[in-house]
Every structure is written in C-alpha cells, then in structure tokens.
Amino acid sequence: MKKLVSWIIALVAITLLVPTITQASQSAIDRKNSEIQQIERQLRAIESRKAQTAQEKEAKEREAANLRSQISNLNSEISTLESELASVSNEITVKEQTITEASTSIEDLQSRLDQQKAGIQALIRDLYMKSTFKNEIVTAVSADNISEVFAEVEYSNEIQAKIEQGVNDIIAHKTWLEQEKQRLSTEKASLASVQSELEEKKVQIETAKNQTENQAYSSQVAANQLDASLDRLVNQESALRAQMSRFYAELASLQSARTLSRADSPLGQIIWPASARYCSQGYGMTRFAAQGWYGGQIHNGIDIAGSGPVFAVKEGTVIAKQQSFCGSSSGSCGGGWGNWVAIRHSTGHVTLYAHLAGISPVAVGQSVFQGQTIGSIGNSGFSTGPHLHFSIYTSFGVGSSGNPSYPGVTLNPELYYSASCWR
C-alpha cells in the first residue's frame, strides 16, 4: 500500500514537473528564436546596405573611369593644339625671316637708288656745264666741230636714259618688295592672332583637365571609401553569421531537449521542424485523406499549423526547391506543395518542407546545419490554412514538372516525435 502511495505521489510530481520543464524549455526556445530573428533582421539590413554601397561604389568607379577617359581626350586635344602651335610658330618665324630679308633688300635697293640719283645729278650738272660752254663757242667753230658736240650730247642723253631706266627698275622692285613685306606682315599678324587663340584654347583645356583630374581623384577616393565600407559590412555580416551559427546550435540543443523522439530516428537525432507546436494532421489515411483529397493516397507526412520559422531537422544538403514564387492558397502551384524545399541527409533520407510563406532562402547545393532556418510557415499551394507539411522520404524523386513525386516512399514522422496529431 505504501509503495502504491509512493508511486502515485511520484507520478503526480512528474506530471506537475513536466509542464514546468516544457514551459521553461519553450520560453528559452522562443527567446532564442527572437534573438535569431533579430540577427536575421540585422543581416537583411546589412545585405541591403551592402547592395546599396556596392551600387554606389560601382557608380563612383564608373564615374572615375569616365573622367579618366575625358582626361585622356583632353590630353589628346592639348597635344594637337601644341602641334598646331608649333606649326604656327614655325610659320611666324619663316615670315619674320622673309620680312627681314625683304627689309634688307629694300634698304639695299634704296642705297642703289640713292647712288643712281646721285649719278644722274652729276651727269646733269656735267651736261649742263658742257652745253653752256659749247653754246658760247658754237658760232666760233666749224661745222665739223658742231657735229662732234651734238654727238657727245646724244651720247650723254643715251646714258641718261639708261640710268633713268635702271632707276625705274629699282623703284619698281623696291615697290614690289614693300608690298610683299606688307603682305607678309599682314600674314604674320594673322598667324599671331591664330597663335593667341590656340594658346587661349590650350589654357582653357588645361584648366578643364585640372578640374577633371580633381573630380576623378575625388570619385576614386569616394569609391575607395565605399570599398572600405563594404569590407566593414562584410566583417559585420561575418560576425553576425558566426553569432547566429552559435544561436542555431543553442536552439538545436534546446529543441533537442524538447522534441527529441523517444527512440532514435533512421536519420539519427532530429529536431522538431518548426517553432509552431500544433500537429494539425497526422500521417496515414487520416479523415481528410479518406475524403480523397490526395487521390486515394495516404497523407505522407505531418502538418504543423501556426506561424514562425521552419528549421532543418538535421544537417544535410539542399537538393531541390520551388524556384518561382507561389502565393497564398495558390492551388496547384509547386505541384500543390506551394513553396517547398527538399534536403538530403547523410543517411540518404530526404526531408520535405512544403507550403512555405515564400521561396526558401537556401540554395540548391547548399549545405545546411541542424536548426538552420530554411523558411517560414505559409499557406502556399494546395492548403486550407497556414501550416507546414513535413515528410521523410526513403525514396525521393522530382518529376518532369520539377515538383516532388507524390506519394514516393515515406516514413511516419509521428514515430520519432512526442507529438499528438489530429487524425
């Protein structure tokens, strides 16, 4: 009798203790989930800032590259102008030399002209004197002597004419040289004006080049600063992911303490696949399945109703997922599974998580750890309300449509969890 009473008291104590432990465990799980969600929000914010910073950096780098291209073009323009300036300067030098030569020639012609004029003046004086003398004696000489006088006068006139012709030639050549000098001076003045314009344009382009170089430098500095900001964001992200990894490990430990099966599953130690607890439909020929909703097949997993994150029950590799978004109650979308993801584990088993709120954030081929968030409970595909459909496959395939083959070969998850499911 005493043993019976003691056994009853112990049973009551255990019964009273279990809810306390369960409540404490759930509270710790909720806190850990809240911490993980906070980190996930921070990570999303960092991802957004990284994307924005990367765009700004790329824009600044494009801007700097464009400015450097402009600088290169300006350098080409400056080089062209310098070549033109050198050509104009050479032309001016040639004109100046030609003008100098023309001036020297004009001076020489003027000197010769002065000499010719002096000769003419001397000749005129000589003729004048001879003519006067001969006029005085003309009456006293014979006819023969008079002929000689006239012959001499005629000879003098011929010389005078030749001298005058030479003078006229010199004057004409001097006039031509002066006109040529004037023309060259005009051309030199025009070239000097072109030279001045080219030099002014060169100064303007060099000023623009200096401004562009300053802008390019500022843009590159800004790009480098944004690159440093990206590095800091990457470091922050790395630290947060490390922290989240620790939190996931702690969460997995908490969930294991709460949801481990009474016996080992074929997959080994697994955790409950969601933060929600209520099992709204069990495995097998449930009343819902008996109505023919699965084409005469059994319900090949368990449904967990509620909201919140969905977890990988064990580490593994993502082998398939719904690639395009399925909205709420989207009927046949995703083959009726809505947004889903499948994970293969080391034992060869595949776990399926369906009716998610959106496309799973994990990628095909990605390794996931136990307790990692792989989505959120949703209402996509063929669904009568927000819930997670969870299946364990021993033989899993994806049809030509890209959706899981139903029914496949599945195990009853209820055997591995302390769960009471509606049937």
Same-domain pairing of 42 and 168? yes
Q: Which of 267, 272, 276 is nearest to 253 (CA)?
A: 272
pLDDT for 225 equals: 92
pLDDT for 66 equals: 92
Same-domain pairing of 49 and 172? yes
pLDDT for 176 equals: 86
The domain in which residue 70 lies consists of 1-259
pLDDT for 312 equals: 94
Last residue of a domain, one of 207, 225, 259: 259
In a domain, 4, yes or no: yes
Question: Domain holding 53: CATH number?
Answer: 1.10.287
In a domain, 422, yes or no: no
Same-domain pairing of 101 and 173? yes
In a domain, 267, yes or no: no
In a domain, 298, yes or no: yes
Same-domain pairing of 302 and 188? no
pLDDT for 130 equals: 63
Question: Domain holding 370: CATH number?
Answer: 2.70.70.10
CB-based contacts of 319, cutoff 8 Å, min separation 6 = 342, 343, 344, 350, 364, 396
In a domain, 269, yes or no: no
pLDDT for 59 equals: 94
pLDDT for 231 equals: 93
Per-residue pLDDT of the chain (423 residues; tens, 9 = 90+): 444 434 333 433 333 333 333 444 667 767 877 787 788 788 889 988 989 999 998 998 899 999 999 999 989 889 898 888 899 889 889 978 888 987 888 888 778 777 777 776 776 677 666 655 555 545 444 445 555 555 665 666 777 677 777 778 788 877 887 887 788 889 879 888 888 888 888 899 889 989 998 998 999 999 899 899 989 989 988 898 888 778 766 766 665 555 444 446 889 889 899 988 889 999 999 998 899 888 888 999 999 999 989 999 999 999 999 999 998 878 889 989 999 999 999 999 999 999 999 999 999 999 999 889 999 999 999 998 999 999 999 999 888 888 887 667 899 998 888 777 887
β-bridge mates for residue 387, sequence order: 305, 378
In a domain, 271, yes or no: no
In a domain, 265, yes or no: no
Last residue of a domain, one of 228, 259, 290: 259
pLDDT for 143 equals: 45
In a domain, 179, yes or no: yes
Same-domain pairing of 244 and 291? no
Same-domain pairing of 228 and 298? no
Same-domain pairing of 245 and 391? no
pLDDT for 305 equals: 92
Same-domain pairing of 245 and 326? no
Same-domain pairing of 254 and 392? no
| Residue 305: φ, ψ to 5° | -85, 155
Cβ–Cβ < 8 Å for 209, 69: no
Same-domain pairing of 328 and 230? no
Q: Which of 239, 378, 262, 272 is nearest to 322 (CA)?
A: 378
Last residue of a domain, one of 231, 259, 287: 259
Same-domain pairing of 196 and 233? yes
Structural domains of the chain, count:
2
Same-domain pairing of 167 and 23? yes
pLDDT for 187 equals: 82
Rounded distance between C-alpha atoms, residue 261 and residue 417, angstroms: 4
